[in-house]
Amino acid sequence: MNAIDVRGLVKRFGDKTVVDHVTMTVAEGEIVGFLGPNGSGKTTTIRIMCGLLTPDEGDGTVLGFDIRTDALKIKREVGYMTQKFSFYEDLTIGENLEFVARLYRLKPVEQYVARTLEELGLASRRNQLAGTLSGGWKQRLALAACIMHKPKLLLLDEPTAGVDPKARREFWDEIHRLASGGLTVLVSTHYMDEAERCHRISYISYGKLLATGTVDEVVRNAGLTTFVLQGPRLDQVAEALQGRPGVDQVAPFGATLHVVGSDKAALEKALADIEKQHKGVTVTPGETSLEDVFIQFMSGSKDNMT
């Protein structure tokens, strides 16, 4: 059984279609990255999955429960971490955890709270108001509160936004540890390095699911060709390349220039011309990165927010 199995989800707000026929499956124990630009419908899709929004069209199951009729059962088995810190800032860390433990009817409350505080390393700060925590600690507290009731599925909505790299690394180590224990994770993110730590990724743009698979599959299926240019006066070269047929992306990376295109023949022709015109520029085949693929997706899809 798939942890998430939804088909043809549609959600409209007014005349804007925020989620447009999204079909998605996530197997048990999988970590799936949910990627896409701002306003692409990631949060809305996640909210539909945990019963916070009702889809206008489409159906499906989460943990075997119908998303339309069994929202309450889903809520008991799912841990949902909101994008914005949404625990009580005027309650202490301990009080927040006690609140969550009681809501999920975990017994004995004190044992659950004490263990969670211990695991978090927050035992000494139990009586500190949650509102006074830094971004990284708030995120850790939120995650701890979400997994206290031992959910089978974790839905994380941009959990690492505004968190420093070390905390981010620790966060992901924790996610992998949980997944190895059988927990399924769907995590939305903007960061490419985080996407690469997922078993599988799904890319959504303006409500439409554009690609899904492992990182390698997504990169391969995108069918992009990348060349790396080296040499003098690369800024002029970049300018000369812009807008030529076959050239989709030109991006400087340190002392090199990455040129990406979907039409390999046209791209090679354009680069051959450049080599002739600019002395000393060398062209070598490069590896297409996930970021290149996403940039390609983003420039290729129609903006429905304007």
Partner 1 sequence: MKDGLGAVFSFARLGALLVKEFIQMRRDRITFAMMLGVPLMQLVLFGFAINNDPKSLPAALVATSSDPYTRAMVSALQTTGYYRFDHVAQSAAQAEFLMARGDVSFVVTIPADFARRVERGDNPQILIEADATDPSVASGAISTLSTVAGQALLRAQGTQDAAREAARGQLDVVVHRRYNPEGVSQYNIVPGLLGVILQMTMVMMTAMALTRETERGTMENLLAMPSSPLEIMLGKVLPYLVVGAVQVVVVLVAAKLLFGIPFVGSLTLLLSSVLVFVLSLVLLGYTISTMARSQMQAMQLTFFFFLPSLLLSGFMFPYRGMPGWAQTFGEIFPLTHFLRITRAVMLKGAELPAVATEIGWLTVFVALFAGVALVRFRRTLD
**Tokens 């990169």 — which residue?**
219
Q: Which is nearer to partner 1, 80 or 227 (CB)?
A: 80
Site residue total, partner 1 (CB under 8 A): 30
Q: Which helix or strand (DSSP H or E) is residue 144 part of?
A: helix 135-147
Smallest gap from Cβ 103 to partner 1, in A, equals 5
Distance between CA 44 and CA 52 in Å, rounded? Answer: 9
Interface map 155-194 toward partner 1 (x if CB under 8 A): ----------------------------------------
| Residue partners of 273: CB distance under 8 A and separation at least 6 | 244
Minimum distance from residue 51 beta carbon to partner 1 (Å): 7
N- to C-terminal Cα separation, the chain: 39
- Beta-bridged to residue 10, according to DSSP, are 57
Task: Please give the Cα distance from 258 to 238 (Å, whole number).
Answer: 9
Residue 276 CB, nearest approach to partner 1 (Å): 58
Cβ closer to partner 1: 43 or 296?
43
Label residue 60 exposed, middle or buried (CB < 10 Å: 0-12, 13-18, 19+): buried
Strand partners, 278: none
Q: Given the rule CB under 8 A, which of 18-26, 50-58, 193-201, 290-298 is the region that contacts partner 1?
A: 50-58
- Judged by CB under 8 A, the stretch of 45-53, 114-122, 159-167, 260-268 that binds partner 1 is 45-53
Backbone angles phi, psi at 59, to 5 degrees: -155, -175
Binding to partner 1, residues 53-112 (CB under 8 A): 53-54, 71-73, 75-76, 78, 80, 82, 84-91, 95, 98-100, 102-105
The residue among 84 and 166 lying less far from partner 1, judged by its C-beta, is 84
Q: How far is the CB of 65 from partner 1 (least distance, A)?
A: 11
- Pick the closest to residue 56 from 17, 104, 3, 90 (CA basis): 17
Residues found near partner 1 in the complex (CB under 8 A): 47, 50-54, 71-73, 75-76, 78, 80, 82, 84-91, 95, 98-100, 102-105
